[in-house]
Amino acid sequence: MNKLKEETVEYRMEQFLRANFGNEFLHNKKVIAISCNQFGDTGKGKFVSLFSKWADIIARVTGGDNAGHTIIFEGVEYVLHLIPCGITDPDKINIIGTGTVIYPRALLQEIIFLKSKGFSCDNLRISLKANVILPSHVVLDRLGESQAGKERIGSTGKGIQPCYTDHVARRGLTMNDLLNPEVFRRKLKKALDYHTMIIAGLGGYEAAREIMKCDHLENGKFIGRDELFNFEAIVQSYLQYGKELRGIIEDTDAFMRHSLGKKNILLEGAQGYLLSIDYGTYPFVTSSDCSPAGMAKGAGLKESDIDVSFGIIKGFYMTRVGKGSFPTEMGDKSSEMWCNEGGDREKEKSMFIGSTLNDTNSFAQGVVLRRLAGEYGATTGRPRRTGWLDLSLLRYALDGGANQIILTKLDVLTGMNIIKVCHSYEYAGPDFNYGDIVLTKGDIIEKAIVLPEVLDHCTPLYKEFPGWTEDIRNVKHFSDLPENLINILKYVFKNVPATPRIISVGPGPDDTVFVLPFDLN
Ligand code: GDP
């Protein structure tokens, strides 16, 4: 049965944009950014694909194929790593911007996959300035991670970090180099000489050869006979990639600047603010600046070009993948160890079978939450550590400017008796100098200081709320949300400088409550 126009998500979204941002918003061309105010994996995919209906141009602007987005198109779930969500609509232009790093083989595989599903990729454009991930970057990444022992940061092993490192060290190769054989050969030689020297220093020739046998690196094709890397094989493969991508590699920075004010532009974030190389919980961060400022730059724009900056958080919990401080983690260190050292989805299926979201053992409660919410990496399958919503970290993330908040996954908490919200921390560590501030045991911290030396000594202070039991999956209007849920929402937004704009109550586009101005009275 066809839906009434008033019930469609497109119509509700238009009403929402008009009511909150003014008629003018719909009549002029604007820039919207969607980023995450936590550690990523907050369901950006759903909202980027929703807002791609509004946009003319959708741009993926930082990171590489280490990120994973899940989108649902006509009831089917697709996981995209590099290509923006607008690819499902032939009328949209999709940009992979200058701030990204690209493993051309992964990009081509994604294009082939999408074409096999009937999506045209003719509307895709790739920045000629985006840096190229080489096989040696992947080797360096995996070798570094395997040798780091307890110090490892949980890299996805896709070569992203060494590629960004080379960019800063002015050794990087760009997508444009794939179109110029002589330039490519010259730069590749310089990069490979350096990478070989580093690998020799690490004593890792044998390990490097082993790594190169994997499918991701074309099953040993790049192993050299006399040298560590087969220079000619890499040249041949990469110039072939260049041939296949010719026509879509272009100056996207110029295109984006030219489109300002003429087209609706959507900037699609990757990872999350707390993982930004510049603002995140360094060193347990990603290699790019995935903050709104970094996103604008990665698109060839300025931060001030962004008209509306949406920031996504999970309601009312959060997750983190890999290592790094996580004060509100359910199950504390045992959860961190389990998720990073051997835990996986299969093993978890048979764990805590009789447990529910209300388990009194917080480790078990965290596992149940993870299972119910499907919190396993879209790219790696790794279990995501689960914890309570942390307002101290959120206050910090809001400094990035994404203060129009989208809350996702609230349906997952249905049936939880007590929901805890961390409103601040009590510092429990030794005296610590933070600039001219001296932190002392017993200090209360309202806005997180995102250094591990501080966060690891922060005891979260919680306010507890009764949960709700009503099924909220089909709720479309704010006033139909359970009172207990609204009470928590009001508490959160009384305590952080941000406004709740959208509440997601299920994975599908229709499972969305758009908050209208009068809802908040
Ligand atoms: P992203 O990288 O930020 O897009 O996050 P993920 O790839 O981890 O996507 C999150 C997953 O949650 C996907 O399977 C989505 O379909 C799903 N999802 C998004 N919003 C909601 C929601 O409100 N409720 C539920 N149950 N699932 C959601």
| Distance in angstroms (rounded) separating the CA atoms of residues 369 and 300 | 39
| For range 498-503, the mean pLDDT | 98
- The reply to whether 500 and 398 lie within a common domain is yes
- The reply to whether 360 and 385 lie within a common domain is yes
Residue 212 inside a domain? The answer is yes
- The reply to whether 337 and 471 lie within a common domain is yes
- The reply to whether 67 and 122 lie within a common domain is yes
Residue 27 inside a domain? The answer is yes
Secondary structure of residue 125 in the 3-state scheme: strand
Closest by CA to 86, choosing from 49, 125, 47, 113, is 49
CATH number at residue 165: 1.10.300.10
Q: Is the pLDDT of residue 84 over 60?
A: yes
Q: Is the CB of 42 under 6 A from ligand 1?
A: yes
Q: pLDDT by residue (tens digit) across 210-257? A: 999 999 999 999 999 989 999 999 999 999 999 999 999 999 999 999
- The reply to whether 253 and 241 lie within a common domain is no
- The reply to whether 510 and 395 lie within a common domain is yes
Q: Is the pLDDT of residue 64 over 80?
A: yes
Q: pLDDT by residue (tens digit) across 247-278? A: 999 999 999 999 999 999 999 998 999 999 99
- The reply to whether 498 and 415 lie within a common domain is yes
Q: Is the CB of 268 under 6 A from ligand 1?
A: no
- The reply to whether 304 and 393 lie within a common domain is no
pLDDT of residue 72: 74
Q: Is the pLDDT of residue 492 over 60?
A: yes
The residue among 312, 343, 359 that closes a domain is 312
Range of the domain at 367: 317-514
Tokens describing residue 291: 């903050």
- Give me ligand 1 centre to Cα 297, in Å: 26
The residue among 245, 263, 295 that closes a domain is 245
Q: Is 41 among the residues known to form the active site?
A: yes
- The reply to whether 139 and 105 lie within a common domain is no
Torsion of the alpha carbons at 277, 280, 286 and 289, rounded to the nearest 10: -50
- The reply to whether 500 and 384 lie within a common domain is yes
| For range 116-127, the mean pLDDT | 92
| Distance in angstroms (rounded) separating the CA atoms of residues 354 and 350 | 10
Residue 521 inside a domain? The answer is no
- The reply to whether 324 and 443 lie within a common domain is yes
pLDDT of residue 480: 97
Ligand 1 pocket: which of 50, 274, 275, 409 to mutate (most atoms within 8 A of CB)? 409
Spatial neighbors of 109 by CB under 8 A, at least 6 apart, are none
| For range 158-186, the mean pLDDT | 97
Tokens describing residue 491: 């508490």
pTM of the model: 0.94
**Cβ count within 10 A of residue 246:** 10
Q: pLDDT by residue (tens digit) across 395-432? A: 999 999 999 999 999 999 999 999 999 999 999 999 99
pLDDT of residue 68: 67
Q: Is the pLDDT of residue 385 over 80?
A: yes
Q: pLDDT by residue (tens digit) across 280-328? A: 999 999 999 999 999 999 999 999 999 999 999 999 999 999 899 999 9
CATH number at residue 17: 3.40.440.10
| Distance in angstroms (rounded) separating the CA atoms of residues 52 and 216 | 31
Beta partners for residue 95, in sequence order: 59, 125
Q: b vs e for 487-507, b when ≥16 Cβ sit within 10 Å of the residue's Cβ?
A: ebbebbeebbebebbbbbbbb
Domain tally, the chain: 3
- The reply to whether 140 and 223 lie within a common domain is yes
Closest by CA to 426, choosing from 447, 450, 452, 445, is 445
Residue 454 inside a domain? The answer is yes
Q: Is the CB of 378 under 6 A from ligand 1?
A: yes
Residue 520 inside a domain? The answer is no
pLDDT of residue 131: 98
Q: pLDDT by residue (tens digit) across 179-188? A: 999 999 999 9
Closest by CA to 294, choosing from 516, 1, 33, 27, is 33
Using pLDDT thresholds of 50, 70 and 90, give the confidence band for residue 354: confident
